[in-house]
Structure 1
């Protein structure tokens, strides 16, 4: 099973795991880590590495970060020389749900692609989805 780490600014990562557990119960080999005010970037890299090692069961680890270019993604980028580690920026709850349920059936590379696909598919203009039928009418 691919391990999962959610890394973010502040408590977003722990909130995402809380929401995940609310929707689907507890899961193994998953951790949240948040960069807190006053944390040094070097300490955060070390903490991210510890989280990665804690969830690594031999099939690799996927790290989901909140924002590309921020300290959490930069910390993970410093660790990407590892062949058993991938990272995706822009974590959202649908992405997290999708990878948690797919990680037993996919390798690290496929799971990384699934994370990106799930995130893109989850962005929906609700008003358009619910009320705009003009697209449906064009199909007939």
Structure 2
């Protein structure tokens, strides 16, 4: 029996399934699965890299939370400034992280706040393809991770994330209280 050319043809074998046909179908299924997985790995899409730069455990905590929500995250690194660490050693860590996450489409460096050592050190790495954003938060980070699948220009990705993160800041107390008044 010749193997079917596609899944539709393979599925048309269902009416009379002899042992030989089941075996052929199983072999075809394994073949298609292997090719699908192998081709996916071979054609990994380039993504904009993301570096989280901040004080203490904040960058690592954000990365862990993002991994909890989105599972498999590639080309992302948290670089924490530890107490007593010099700016020079921190800058070296940032450069190393940049080398790890950079894949050709650029990199976003998200710093915890303007004027802090992580942000100040990261300013030395800024280029057209390496963008620095201060004031990182979970809303911005999640938007960046998801949107970089479709957007491969760092500047455009930053603009998209800024809009989304601004929408994420809301006075929910005010909204809830107004809703309760309407219901009364």
TM-score by length of 2: 0.69
8 A Cα contact 1:91 1:119, kept in partner: no
**How far did 1:130 drift?**
1.8
Q: 1:90 is matched with which residue?
A: 135
Residue by residue over 1:5-51, the C-alpha shift from the partner in whole angstroms, topping out at 9 and shown as x without a partner, is 01111110000011101111120000001100111001111111111
**Tell me, what secondary structure is at the counterpart of 2:108?**
strand
Q: How does 1:102-113 map to 2 (within 5 A)?
A: 102-106=147-151, 107-113=153-159
**How far did 1:92 drift?**
0.6
**Relative to structure 2, which stretch is displaced further, 13-22 or 113-122?**
113-122
Q: How does 1:100-139 map to 2 (within 5 A)?
A: 100-106=145-151, 107-133=153-179
Q: How does 1:1-140 map to 2 (within 5 A)?
A: 1-80=47-126, 82-106=127-151, 107-133=153-179
CA RMSD of aligned residues (A): 1.5
Query: 1 CA distance for matches of 2:68 and 2:140?
Result: 16
Query: 1 CA distance for matches of 2:129 and 2:106?
Result: 4
**Structure 1: 4+ residue segments shifted above 2 A:** none
**Tell me, what secondary structure is at the counterpart of 1:62?**
strand
How many pairs align? 134
Larger Rg computed on CA atoms:
2
Query: 2 CA distance for matches of 1:48 and 1:14?
Result: 14
TM-score by length of 1: 0.90
**Tell me, what secondary structure is at the counterpart of 2:77?**
strand
Higher RCO (C-alpha 8 Å, min separation 6): 1
Q: 2:16 is matched with which residue?
A: none
